[in-house]
C-alpha cells in the first residue's frame, strides 16, 4: 500500500527518530549529551559527536583539569569520548542536522523516552564501592557536566575522566563499551589530589618496593624494575595483614598508655620537686637576707652608739677649752688694765692670772688614738668577700657535681671501687635492668646525608644514587651519617640497634658538631666531639679522638648502647637472648692501663669534656651495603614498665 505523498516525510522522520534516538537520551544522535535535550543549533566536534552550540560554548569557559587541558577558553575534552577539542576550533552549525531536527521534533512531540532496559549491564568497576571512599562527610559533590546554575548532585566519580557525573550524565559510562575500562567510585571531591604527583594520571597499581601507588607511566619508567601489583591485589594483601597490624597498634597504644602514665608521673615529680626546691631556696634566701639585714642594723646601731658616746666626750672637751680660753683672755686683759700706781690691784690680778694658768681640769678623751667605729666598713667588707667566695664556691660545686653529686676527685675514688667493664666481657645485669632506661630514638631526616635513605624514623640504608633532600644547615655533606632528633643531657639512656648489613658505626655526637666537616675529621670517633663502636665485617672497633681499640668478640646482630650521662660513661653491649655481653666501656679509668694504652689515655684526659655538651645518637653507614634498624624495645619494655606501674618489686641483677 502506498503512502500519501503529504505524509511520507513526516512518517519517515518519525520512524528515524524512533529507531535512532528519543529526545532526552544522551547516547542518541539527536540528543545533546550535556543538556540531555534535543539538539539546539547543533555543532560537531572533530571526534564526530554533536552538541548544542550554547552547551559546548559554556563548557569551554569552565575551569579545566590540572593537566592543563581545558579551562577559560582553552582546550576541553569531549564528555563522551574524552578526545580533546582544540581551543582554536571555531564552532560552526551542522546545517544537515539543523534541517532534520525541526522535523524530528514535530514527529516525536507526543512520544516519551523509554526507560532503560532493566538489568542493563554496567561497565566493570561501576559497582558500588565502600562508602569510606567518598569525599568529605556530609558534603554534596555536584556534576561536572551539568550547566552552571542547574548542576545536579553527582552519583559517581570517574577516576579516568577525573570528573563527577549525575545519574543522567552517567548513562554513557553505563551503556557505552568505550567507557568499559573507566573506574567509577562513590562521589569524590578534589579528584586531582588522587592523581600521580609526577605524571598527573590516576594510579592503577601499587609498588611494593617503595610502598606507594603508581600510575602507568610510573610503572614504565621509575618503577619499571620494582615489584608492582594491582590496587585490588595489594588491598587483599593488606587486608590479610590487617589483624596483625591492628594487634600491633593495640600493643603500641597499650605501651603508650603505660609510658604516658610514667611520663606524667615524671613530669609531676619534676614539677613538684622544682616547686619544693624553689620554696626552700626562697626561704633560705629570705633567712640569709634577714641575717644580713640584722647584721646591717647591728652595725648601724654600733656606729650610732659609738658616735653618740664619742661625740659627747668631744663636745665636753670643746666646751671646757672654750671656757678656759675666755677666762685666760679676761684675766690677761684685767692685768693689762691695772694702773701703774695701784700696786695692790696689780698683785691681785697677777695672782688670778697665775691661778687660771695653773688650772688643768680638761676631760680625758677615750678615742685619742683612733675612732673605733671606723672599723665597721672593714668588717662588712670582709663579710662581703666571704659571702661572695662562698657563693662562688657553692655555684661551682653545683655545676661541677651535676646530677650525680660527684666531683672529679670523688669520681676517681668511685672508679676504684667498681670493676672495669671494658676488660670484663661478662655483664652481671640482665637486659631488664637496662630496659628501665629505654630511650626512644627517631632519625632526623634533616641531618641525613644524601646517600642515606631513611625508612620512616627507625631504618637507614646507604644507597648509590643521591636522594634529593631539601637544603638543611644540619645535613651532613661529606660523611654518610645521620643523627637522632633526641637530645641527652642528664640521667641514663639505653637503646638498641640491629646491624642488618655492611659496615655500621653506632655512637654519640655533640649537638653543636659542624656537619660540614671534612670526611677525615667529620666521621664518628675521628674527633673529640664524638665516639662510636664500629663493626667492620670482621670485628668490633671503638673509636674516639682519632684513636681506636680493637675488640675481640663474636658478631652480635643487636647492639645495646647505655649512656650514663652523669657518670660520663658510654658502654656498648652485645645483646642475645636477653643476655648482655659488655663489648667496650668508654670511661675514665684510674688503673695503670691508662698509662700504657694510648686509647685509654685519650679517654682519661679528653672523654669527660664530651659531656659538657648535649649529646645526640649518631650513626655512620660506612660501606655501600650498610643497613641498620633502630632495635625493637617496645614489647619487652612494656612488660617491664607494667611491673613497675603495678608496684611489683624489681628483680634486677
Cross-strand pairs, 50: 44
Q: What is the pLDDT of residues 632-653, one digit of tens each?
A: 665 555 555 555 455 444 433 3
Q: What is the pLDDT of residues 587-603, one digit of tens each?
A: 988 765 555 788 988 99
Q: Which secondary-structure segment (H or E) carries 410?
A: helix 408-415
Read off φ and ψ for residue 504, nearest 5 degrees: -135, 140
Mean pLDDT confidence for 354-375: 68
pLDDT band at 116 (very low <50, low <70, confident <90, very high): very low
Higher pLDDT, 506 or 313: 506
The residue written with cell numbers 523516552 in the block is 113
Mean pLDDT confidence for 135-161: 78
377/361 Cα distance (integer angstroms):
36
Cross-strand pairs, 564: 492, 569
- Altogether, the residues listed in the chain come to a count of 653
| Range with the poorest average pLDDT among 314-328, 425-439, 536-550 | 425-439
User: Cα-Cα-Cα-Cα dihedral of 400, 403, 404, 405, to 10°?
Assistant: 50
- Choose which CATH entry (3.30.40.10, 1.20.140.10, 3.40.50.10610, 3.40.50.720) describes domain 1-112: 3.30.40.10
| pLDDT for 40 | 85
183/135 Cα distance (integer angstroms):
16
44/223 Cα distance (integer angstroms):
41
Higher pLDDT, 136 or 561: 561
| Range with the poorest average pLDDT among 98-107, 109-118, 257-266, 574-583 | 109-118
Domains 1-112 and 412-645 share a fold: no
Mean pLDDT confidence for 117-137: 40
| pLDDT for 364 | 66
Q: Which secondary-structure segment (H or E) carries 460?
A: strand 459-462
Specify which of 60-69, 113-122, 407-416 reaches the highest per-range mean pLDDT: 60-69
The Cα angle at residue 28 between residues 144 and 149, in degrees rounded to 5? 30
217/224 Cα distance (integer angstroms):
9
307/122 Cα distance (integer angstroms):
115
| Secondary structure E strands in 113-234 | 156-158, 163-165, 184-185, 205-207, 212-214, 228-229
Q: What is the pLDDT of residues 222-243, one digit of tens each?
A: 888 899 998 888 889 889 888 8
Of 169, 171, 170, 39, give the one whose Cα is nearest residue 102: 39
235/191 Cα distance (integer angstroms):
20
| pLDDT for 535 | 94
Angstrom CA distances, 364 to 170, 308, 313, 355, 625, stand at 127, 17, 8, 21, 102
Q: What is the pLDDT of residues 39-94, one digit of tens each?
A: 888 888 888 888 888 888 888 776 555 444 444 445 678 877 778 888 788 888 88
The residue written with cell numbers 645495646 in the block is 560
Contact between residue 489 and residue 433 where contact means Cβ atoms under 8 Å apart: no
186/65 Cα distance (integer angstroms):
19
| pLDDT for 366 | 60
Read off φ and ψ for residue 559, nearest 5 degrees: -110, 125
Grid coordinates in use for 108?
516525536
Mean pLDDT confidence for 255-268: 88
Higher pLDDT, 197 or 173: 173
Grid coordinates in use for 279?
620554696
Contact between residue 107 and residue 17 where contact means Cβ atoms under 8 Å apart: yes
Q: What is the pLDDT of residues 510-529, one digit of tens each?
A: 999 999 999 989 999 999 99
The Cα angle at residue 624 between residues 619 and 628, in degrees rounded to 5? 40
- The CATH number that domain 412-645 falls under is 2.60.120.920
| Range with the poorest average pLDDT among 106-115, 475-484, 548-557 | 106-115
Q: Residue 449 pLDDT more than 90? A: yes
| Range with the poorest average pLDDT among 178-192, 331-345, 394-408 | 394-408
| pLDDT for 547 | 92
Distance of CA 240 to the CA centre of its chain: 33
| Range with the poorest average pLDDT among 79-83, 115-119, 217-221, 639-643 | 115-119
| pLDDT for 415 | 43
Task: Using a pLDDT cut of 70, give the percent of the chain over it.
Answer: 77
The residue written with cell numbers 653491649 in the block is 573
Of 183, 254, 197, 207, give the one whose Cα is nearest residue 66: 197
34/45 Cα distance (integer angstroms):
14
Of 441, 417, 408, 409, give the one whose Cα is nearest residue 609: 408
459/453 Cα distance (integer angstroms):
8
Contact between residue 75 and residue 86 where contact means Cβ atoms under 8 Å apart: yes
| pLDDT for 90 | 81
| pLDDT for 60 | 79
Contact between residue 39 and residue 95 where contact means Cβ atoms under 8 Å apart: no
71/84 Cα distance (integer angstroms):
12
Cross-strand pairs, 550: 541
Q: Residue 546 pLDDT more than 60? A: yes
Grid coordinates in use for 486?
633526641
Q: Residue 148 pLDDT more than 70? A: yes
What pTM value is reported for the model?
0.38
Q: Residue 124 pLDDT more than 80? A: no
Read off φ and ψ for residue 183, nearest 5 degrees: -105, 115
Specify which of 88-102, 130-144, 401-415 reaches the highest per-range mean pLDDT: 88-102
Q: Residue 617 pLDDT more than 90? A: yes
Q: What is the mean pLDDT of the chain?
A: 78
353/534 Cα distance (integer angstroms):
112
Buried b (16+ CB within 10 A) or exposed e, 344-353: eeeeebeeeb
Where do the structural domains in the chain lie, given as residue ranges? 1-112, 246-369, 412-645
Contact between residue 414 and residue 406 where contact means Cβ atoms under 8 Å apart: yes
Amino acid at each position: 500500500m502506498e503512502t500519501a505523498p503529504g505524509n511520507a516525510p513526516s512518517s519517515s522522520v518519525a520512524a528515524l527518530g524512533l529507531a535512532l534516538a528519543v529526545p532526552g537520551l544522551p547516547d542518541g544522535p539527536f540528543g545533546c549529551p550535556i543538556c540531555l535535550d534535543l539538539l539546539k543549533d547543533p555543532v560537531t566536534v572533530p571526534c564526530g559527536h554533536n552538541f548544542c552550540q550554547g552547551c559546548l560554548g559554556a563548557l569551554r569557559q569552565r575551569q579545566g583539569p590540572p593537566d592543563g587541558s581545558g579551562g577559560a577558553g582553552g582546550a576541553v575534552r569531549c564528555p563522551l569520548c574524552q578526545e580533546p577539542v582544540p581551543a582554536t576550533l571555531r564552532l560552526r552549525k551542522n546545517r544537515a542536522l539543523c534541517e532534520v531536527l525541526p522535523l524530528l521534533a514535530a514527529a516525536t512531540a507526543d512520544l516519551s523516552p523509554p526507560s532503560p532496559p532493566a538489568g542493563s549491564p554496567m561497565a566493570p568497576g561501576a559497582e558500588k564501592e565502600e562508602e569510606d571512599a567518598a569525599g568529605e562527610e556530609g558534603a554534596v559533590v555536584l556534576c561536572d557536566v551539568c550547566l552552571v546554575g542547574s548542576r545536579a548532585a553527582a552519583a559517581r566519580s570517574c577516576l579516568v575522566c577525573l570528573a563527577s557525573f549525575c545519574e543522567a550524565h552517567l548513562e554513557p559510562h553505563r551503556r557505552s563499551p568505550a567507557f568499559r575500562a573507566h573506574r567509577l567510585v562513590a562521589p569524590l571531591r578534589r579528584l586531582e589530589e588522587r592523581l600521580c604527583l609526577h605524571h598527573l594520571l590516576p594510579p592503577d597499581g601499587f609498588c611494593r618496593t617503595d610502598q606507594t601507588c603508581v600510575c602507568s607511566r610510573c610503572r614504565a619508567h621509575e618503577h619499571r624494575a620494582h615489584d608492582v601489583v594491582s590496587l585490588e591485589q595489594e588491598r587483599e594483601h593488606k587486608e590479610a595483614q590487617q589483624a596483625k597490624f591492628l594487634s600491633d597498634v593495640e600493643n603500641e597504644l597499650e605501651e603508650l598508655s603505660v609510658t604516658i602514665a610514667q611520663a606524667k608521673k615524671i613530669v609531676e615529680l619534676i614539677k613538684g620537686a622544682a616547686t619544693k626546691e624553689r620554696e626552700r631556696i626562697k626561704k633560705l634566701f629570705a633567712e640569709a637576707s634577714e641575717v644580713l639585714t640584722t647584721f646591717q642594723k647591728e652595725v648601724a646601731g654600733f656606729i650610732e652608739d659609738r658616735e653618740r658616746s664619742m661625740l659627747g666626750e668631744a663636745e665636753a672637751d670643746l666646751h671646757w677649752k672654750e671656757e678656759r680660753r675666755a677666762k685666760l683672755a679676761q684675766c690677761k686683759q684685767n692685768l693689762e688694765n691695772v694702773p701703774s700706781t695701784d700696786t695692790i690691784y696689780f698683785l691681785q690680778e697677777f695672782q688670778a692670772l697665775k691661778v687660771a694658768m695653773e688650772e688643768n681640769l680638761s676631760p680625758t678623751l677615750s678615742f685619742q688614738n683612733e675612732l673605733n667605729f671606723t672599723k665597721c666598713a672593714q668588717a662588712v667588707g670582709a663579710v662581703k668577700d666571704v659571702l661572695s667566695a662562698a657563693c662562688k664556691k657553692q655555684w661551682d660545686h653545683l655545676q661541677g657535681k651535676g646530677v650525680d653529686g660527684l666531683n672529679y676527685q670523688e669520681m676517681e675514688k668511685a672508679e676504684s671501687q667498681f670493676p672495669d667493664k671494658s676488660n670484663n666481657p661478662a655483664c652481671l645485669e640482665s637486659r631488664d635492668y637496662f630496659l628501665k632506661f629505654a630511650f626512644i630514638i627517631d632519625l632526623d631526616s634533616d641531618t641525613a646525608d644524601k646517600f642515606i635513605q631513611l625508612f620512616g624514623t627507625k631504618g637507614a640504608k646507604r644507597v648509590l644514587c643521591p636522594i634529593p633532600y631539601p637544603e638543611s644547615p644540619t645535613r651532613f655533606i661529606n660523611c654518610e651519617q645521620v643523627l637522632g632528633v633526641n637530645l641527652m643531657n642528664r640521667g641514663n639512656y639505653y637503646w638498641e640497634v640491629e646491624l642488618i648489613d655492611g659496615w655500621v658505626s653506632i655512637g654519640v655526637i655533640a649537638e653543636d658538631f659542624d656537619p660540614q666537616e671534612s670526611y677525615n675529621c667529620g666521621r664518628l670517633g675521628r674527633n673529640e666531639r664524638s665516639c662510636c663502636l664500629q663493626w667492620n665485617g670482621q670485628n668490633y672497633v671503638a673509636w674516639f679522638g682519632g684513636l681506636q681499640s680493637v675488640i675481640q668478640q663474636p658478631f652480635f646482630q643487636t647492639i645495646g648502647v647505655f649512656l650514663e650521662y652523669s657518670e660520663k660513661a658510654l658502654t656498648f653491649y652485645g645483646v642475645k637472648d636477653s643476655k648482655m655481653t659488655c663489648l667496650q666501656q668508654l670511661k675514665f679509668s684510674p688503673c695503670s692501663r691508662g698509662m700504657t694504652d694510648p686509647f685509654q689515655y685519650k679517654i682519661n684526659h679528653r672523654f669527660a669534656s664530651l659531656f659538657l655538651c648535649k649529646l645526640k645518637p649518631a650513626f655512620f653507614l660506612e660501606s655501600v651495603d650498610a643497613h641498620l634498624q633502630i632495635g625493637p624495645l617496645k614489647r619487652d619494655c612494656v612488660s617491664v614498665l607494667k611491673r613497675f606501674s603495678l608496684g611489683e618489686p624489681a628483680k634486677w641483677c
